[in-house]
Structure 1
Amino acid sequence: MKHALTAALIILTALLPGLATAADMQAERITITEWKAVFAKIEARNTIPARSRLGGTLEQVMVAEGSEVAEGQQIATTVDEKLLLELRAVDAQLQALTSELTNAQAELTRGLNLLERGVTTEQNVDGLRTRVEVIQGRIGSTEAQKDVLLQRTAEGRVLAPISGRVIDVPVTAGSVIMPGEMVAVIGGGGFYLRLAVPERHADFLNEGDDIRIDGIEGTDSGTLAKVYPQIENGRVIADVELSGLSAEFIGKRVLVRLPVARTQTVVVPQEAVSTRMGLDFVQVAPPDAPPTERVVVLGEKLQIDGRALVEVLSGLSGDEALVTAHE
């Protein structure tokens, strides 16, 4: 009789493959981060136009789109023909005044000699001395006028306002431009992923947060470097810093995933789930009761601290003890 009972138990155990022996797992309620996928663009932190301070003809453009420039580097030259003519006229005036000054100084020297011999009067010598001083003043004024013309001519050198990369050159050599007209657009201050996020997510964005970037070589991580305080068209502008970011194509779109919320959910180890006939089951071990199977609705699979977990949307509350089903 005893041997028959033992045999019956062995057969019963074989017929119940889902029976578990001991609780070795736990359903957990954890907080997970929700990620929102948005597209970011590669842009420069600062985008500043290089403008011509002088109106005239653009004689030379020394850069093209993609060129690297340093702050203060000359990138173009503007020429105003009228300034060159005015400089020639001023130079001619200076030559004439210089000759006139030479003659006046010679007459003053002769007048001083005659005054020593008593041939002329002090009044005549004072007149000659005054004439020399007037000519010297006219020369100084003309030289100052020339300096102004030279400064205006030098303003034809278009300089890079910042160090960076030339993004756009909307003009070509030979173009007629006005004072203050843009010659090139330069991006500098570092290159970032710039994105626009709906304002409802603004409170969840914090500088320093880790950001996921999806690329050709897989998923990379970056840092939320700056969140701009001004909301434009219902969107918050933010910059994501990524080491080794290629700035070969400015404006290229990149898929970025942002942490926008934190929610609590129930997770179980993936090995605690079994699937039969299109349904997912877990073995729940109630206190002081045999394990029972429970149907659950699963969400996405997660990797947390090296553990393979799966989200449970319904069927568990998060404090159940689980056992592994034996197939």
Structure 2
Amino acid sequence: MIATQPSRFTAMRFVALSLAITVAMPAWADELEVHPRRMEDMKAVAATVESVHETTARARLGGTVGSLATDEGQRVQAGQRLATIADAKLAPQIGGAEARIKSMEAERDLAATELQRARDLFDKGAGTKMRLDGAVTRLEVAERAVAGARSERSVLAERSGEGAVLAPANGRVLKVHVTEGSVVLPGDVIATIAVENYALRLALPERHARFIKVGDTVLVGERALAAGDTPPRPGLVRKVYPRIENGRVTADVEVGGLGDFFVGERVPVHVTTGSRAAFVVPSAAIIRRFGLDMIRLKGGAEVVVQTGQIGEAGVEILSGLRDGDVVTW
């Protein structure tokens, strides 16, 4: 009886330990047989927010800037008044045209009266046909003179309306080139406007020129002036410029939401500069223990690995795995 007690106790401890080990061992839900796959090399570069097109609001009339209705940074709509230019010589010219019109209208009225008198005399037999024809001609000449004077006044009035400098397109004012009281000539630039069509402009080293093409997808990071932890968002390469300047190739990336950015603001962008063969596993398969990254293989063995780039497909494994290994997690 004394010898059987320890054996029974030992058996109970063994059963309890087996149950504990069974409970502690996880049930492998997923497994993956790893093989080399192509993985893109991503390079971080800085892009600047640029307007695809810039336009200028110019003066159509020479004169003095009477008032400015815009300032740098203001959003404007097409046709919005930006400034008013006044020409001091237009008012006297319009006044002179009005005086000539009144004088010619008086001559026309006199010619009409003479024509009526000549027609009455001709009807009574006291006037000649020549006098009647002369009166008709004088009235026609007077009417054409009045029409010409009115056209001249319309031209002067139209020139006066050209003193309004209007925005040629929707956009944001980048720079105002004049101040109130400035003297300008026809064609002088009043303001420079960035048209509301913004893009990220990249300047890549020319060794990467063969990797970038229209239609490529890039990752656009958070703007430097923004607060928070916003994940990168995709952008599309819209245009690659065919000229290399100062050892760099320029490309435009189209991405939404750039209307609130400052023109010239720098934004981090990750672009593809090639590809390489690599092992990629899901991030859930990485075990962090004692400062090391480990992966559990099928069968229970654990290997130490060195991780690399993290992408949408998973985590790149630089070393520790071989082709055909089955990873469990």
TM range (shorter): 0.7 to 0.9
CA deviation after TM superposition for structure 1 residue 194, in Å: 2.0
CA deviation after TM superposition for structure 1 residue 144, in Å: 1.9
CA deviation after TM superposition for structure 1 residue 175, in Å: 1.0
1:208-236 CA distances to partner (integer Å, 9 max, x unpaired)? 43322232524321312411343241433
Structure 1 SS opposite 2:36: strand
CA deviation after TM superposition for structure 1 residue 284, in Å: 10
What residue in structure 2 maps to residue 300 of structure 1? 308
CA deviation after TM superposition for structure 1 residue 25, in Å: 7.2
Of the candidates 265, 281, 284, which is equivalent to residue 252 of structure 1? 265
Q: Provide closer, same or farther for how the CA distance between residues 228 and 55 of structure 1 changes in structure 2, counting only shifts above 3 A.
A: farther
Q: Provide closer, same or farther for how the CA distance between residues 284 and 69 of structure 1 changes in structure 2, counting only shifts above 3 A.
A: closer
Counterpart residue type for residue 202 of structure 1: A
8 Å Cα contact 2:172/2:196 also seen in 1: no
CA distance in structure 2 between the partners assigned to 1:165 and 1:142 by the alignment: 42
CA distance in structure 1 between the partners assigned to 2:295 and 2:80 by the alignment: 70
CA distance in structure 1 between the partners assigned to 2:79 and 2:115 by the alignment: 50
CA deviation after TM superposition for structure 1 residue 101, in Å: 0.9
Identity of matched residues, %: 34
Which consecutive aligned stretches of 4+ in structure 1 deviate over 4 angstroms post-superposition? 24-27, 266-276, 278-285
Segment of structure 1 superposing worse, 201-210 or 83-92: 201-210
Of the candidates 144, 147, 170, which is equivalent to residue 151 of structure 2? 144
8 Å Cα contact 1:30/1:266 also seen in 2: yes
Q: Is the aligned partner of 1:222 residue 2:238?
A: no
Structure 2 SS opposite 1:81: coil
What residue in structure 1 maps to residue 180 of structure 2? 173
Residues 24-103 of structure 1: pairs in structure 2 closer than 5 A: 28-103=35-110
8 Å Cα contact 1:41/1:193 also seen in 2: yes
Q: Provide closer, same or farther for how the CA distance between residues 127 and 311 of structure 1 changes in structure 2, counting only shifts above 3 A.
A: same
Q: Provide closer, same or farther for how the CA distance between residues 260 and 188 of structure 1 changes in structure 2, counting only shifts above 3 A.
A: same
CA distance in structure 2 between the partners assigned to 1:119 and 1:304 by the alignment: 108
Question: TM-score if structure 2 supplies the norm length?
Answer: 0.75
Structure 1 SS opposite 2:257: coil
CA distance in structure 2 between the partners assigned to 1:269 and 1:165 by the alignment: 46
Segment of structure 1 superposing worse, 222-231 or 172-181: 222-231
Of the candidates 113, 120, 132, which is equivalent to residue 125 of structure 1? 132
CA distance in structure 2 between the partners assigned to 1:265 and 1:176 by the alignment: 67
CA deviation after TM superposition for structure 1 residue 48, in Å: 0.9
CA distance in structure 2 between the partners assigned to 1:49 and 1:245 by the alignment: 21
Structure 2 SS opposite 1:226: strand
CA distance in structure 2 between the partners assigned to 1:189 and 1:272 by the alignment: 46
CA distance in structure 2 between the partners assigned to 1:165 and 1:75 by the alignment: 12
Q: Provide closer, same or farther for how the CA distance between residues 121 and 192 of structure 1 changes in structure 2, counting only shifts above 3 A.
A: same
Q: Which blocks of at least 5 consecutive residues in structure 2 are unaligned?
A: 1-30
CA deviation after TM superposition for structure 1 residue 197, in Å: 2.2
CA distance in structure 1 between the partners assigned to 2:204 and 2:90 by the alignment: 52
Structure 2 SS opposite 1:28: coil
What residue in structure 2 maps to residue 105 of structure 1? 112
1:256-301 CA distances to partner (integer Å, 9 max, x unpaired)? 111121122355788789999x99999999xxxxx9x9x98x4625
Q: Is the aligned partner of 1:263 residue 2:271?
A: no
Structure 2 SS opposite 1:203: coil
Q: Which blocks of at least 5 consecutive residues in structure 1 are unaligned?
A: 1-23, 286-290
CA distance in structure 2 between the partners assigned to 1:192 and 1:202 by the alignment: 19
Give the RMSD, CA atoms, in angstroms.
3.4
8 Å Cα contact 1:28/1:268 also seen in 2: no
Counterpart residue type for residue 219 of structure 1: P
CA distance in structure 2 between the partners assigned to 1:132 and 1:304 by the alignment: 88
Question: TM-score if structure 1 supplies the norm length?
Answer: 0.75
CA deviation after TM superposition for structure 1 residue 95, in Å: 0.7
1:99-124 CA distances to partner (integer Å, 9 max, x unpaired)? 11111111221122222233332212
CA deviation after TM superposition for structure 1 residue 176, in Å: 0.9
CA distance in structure 1 between the partners assigned to 2:293 and 2:73 by the alignment: 56
